[in-house]
Amino acid sequence: MKKLINAIKQFFTFIRFDIWRITSTELPKGRHILYNILKTIYLAVKGYSKDRLGVRAAALTYSISFAIVPLIALISAVSKGFGIESVIEKTLQKTFVAQANLIPIIMEFVRKYLDTMSGGVFIGIGLIIVIYSVFNLFSKIELALNNIWEVQKSRSILKQFTIYFSGVLIFPILIAISAGLSIYINNILKDTFLFEIFSPFTKFLVRITPYIASGLIFTLIYQIVPNTKVRFVNALIAGMTAGILFQLFQSLYVSGQINLTRYNAIYGGFAAIPLLLLWLNISCLIFLIGAEISYVSQNLRNFDYALDSEHISNRYNNYLTYFVAYVIVKRFENNEPAYSVEDIVKKYKMPIRIVNRIINTLKNAEIISEVITEDYRKVYQPAIDINQLTLSLLETKIDMRGSELFLESKNEQMDAFWQKMLQVQEKTDKISETILLKDL
């Protein structure tokens, strides 16, 4: 028992500390993939609390419950124009099998919703409510994904409107193509010898189709919606994970409804409403966990030496800051191509999070400047004459970055201590005033 407890402790120590000190270049390919999977799972679980996914899932649940009828109404109106309204209803019935009993009720609400706004189709207040509800839902989804991806700026309203409603227009077309393909396979190919040969494979495809379809939908959302560049492979990994979890939850939920007879006895006909909200909440949580996986899997190397980076000493941080500044200065002095962040990380095996933080410090202190190359890479060069950039000047610019002497209350002891510190600093600076950074 003691050996088991010690083994568990060692495993958790390895996951929390040691695994982040092992870079990808130090591992064979098989172990590298295994370690990346462990890192992704650990960071996704950690991101659940860091990004408050439970709270965000609750907010999305509210937005969806508010917009579900207007959204389906808009999709139905578009599909009606293509003559595939019944196909959309059947697709919703299959997709949301966990809420199969509610779909006819919702569709009835949709029909009444559309009837009340007809008189000129979609005009006036009805049109405004539909557009606002749908736009608000999609903007909330984008905001949630942007927060996970640490993106500070959303798209412009015009771009948001274009992307969101393009998706609403394309969705019925994709459903129609999918339904047509299914009919073709079942009716036309059924009588051919190919169907008999591939029958077992076809049955297997039918079983996994919901998982693949859900995964591809999530993949598309994870890649397009965040206002940043998301690599397809990372969106696909997250999308397929979320799609599988969503379908497994659907199956579990459907089977679990059989055991909810007591719940139905208490709430009667209203039981469907809290159950719908529960289903929406968990579905939103799965969706956000997938977004967390897409972010983590694309930025894994940013978390190398993660714990060490969070608890780095001032002395070591200063050393790394001076070294990065030195490297940039020497490249400039030797008339060599300027380094990007990726170049510094690759050359000196430094954690990218630390390098990004140092680069921002040096930029804000106006020691280096950013340059965009012809191939749109961001590289860095000195913003000061390197023959004037002494250690004293470098230290002063970094130390003086930010606010000083902002306390309103005056205190003689504090003022005297401040003056003494400046005097000591002046004596120290005299030693480094004659030493140029490039000469180290």
**170 or 84: which leads in pLDDT:** 170
Q: Is residue 36 part of a domain?
A: no
Yes or no: say if 398 and 317 are a contact pair by the CB < 8 Å rule.
Answer: no
352 and 428 belong to one structural domain: yes
- Give 57 or 10, the one with higher predicted confidence: 57
> Would 252 be classed as within a structural domain?
yes
**Tokens representing 360?**
């921002």
Q: At what angle do helices 53-82 and 272-298 cross, to 10 degrees?
A: 100
pLDDT at 20: 65
Q: How many independent structural domains does the chain possess?
A: 2
Q: Considering only residues 56 and 301, tell me which one the structure prediction assigns the higher pLDDT.
A: 56
SS3 of 167-184: the string is HHHHHHHHHHHHHHHHHH
pLDDT in tens, 152-164: 777 888 888 788 7
Q: Which of 299, 314, 346 is the last residue of a domain?
A: 299
Q: Is residue 79 part of a domain?
A: yes
Which region holds residue 119: left if phi is over 0, alpha if psi is between -120 and 50, else beta? left
Residues 198 and 319 in one domain: no
User: What average pLDDT does the chain have?
Assistant: 77
Q: How confident is the model at residue 324 (pLDDT cuts 50, 70, 90)?
A: very high
pLDDT of residue 310: 73
For residue 311, the model assigns a pLDDT of 78
Report d(CA 44, CA 308) in Å as an integer. Answer: 19
- Would you say residue 130 lies in a domain? yes
Q: Do 341 and 382 belong to one domain?
A: yes
Residue 435: is its pLDDT beyond 60? yes
Which residues are registered as beta bridge partners of 381?
Answer: 369
Which residues is 372 bridged to in the sheet? 378
Q: Does 186 have pLDDT greater than 80? A: no
Residue 241 has a pLDDT of 92
Round to whole Å and give the CA distance between 155 and 161: 10
Average pLDDT of 105-122?
63
Q: Which domain holds residue 98?
A: 49-299
- Is residue 4 domain-resident? no
Which range of 12-21, 203-212, 380-389, 424-433 scores highest in mean pLDDT? It is 380-389
Establish if 121 belongs to a structural domain. yes
| Nearest CA among 136, 138, 144 for reference residue 294 | 144
Same domain membership, residue 294 and residue 322: no
- The pLDDT confidence band at residue 225, using thresholds 50, 70 and 90, is confident
Closest of 66, 58, 59 to residue 133, by C-alpha? 66
Whether residue 18 is contained in a domain is answered as no
Confidence of residue 67 (pLDDT cuts 50, 70, 90): confident
CATH number at residue 381: 1.10.10.10
Per-residue pLDDT band at 49 (split at 50, 70, 90):
confident
Contact 110, 73 (CB under 8 A): yes
Q: Which of 130-134, 238-242, 341-345 has the lowest mean pLDDT?
A: 130-134
Asked if residue 221 and residue 336 are part of one domain, the reply reads no
189 and 208 assigned to the same domain: yes
Given a cut of 70, is residue 116 above it in pLDDT?
Answer: no
Asked whether residue 276 falls in the same domain as residue 316, the answer is: no
Q: Residue 268: pLDDT above 80?
A: no
Which 8-state DSSP code applies to residue 187?
A: I
Tell me the mean pLDDT in the region 173-180.
60
Q: Is 73's pLDDT higher than 70?
A: yes
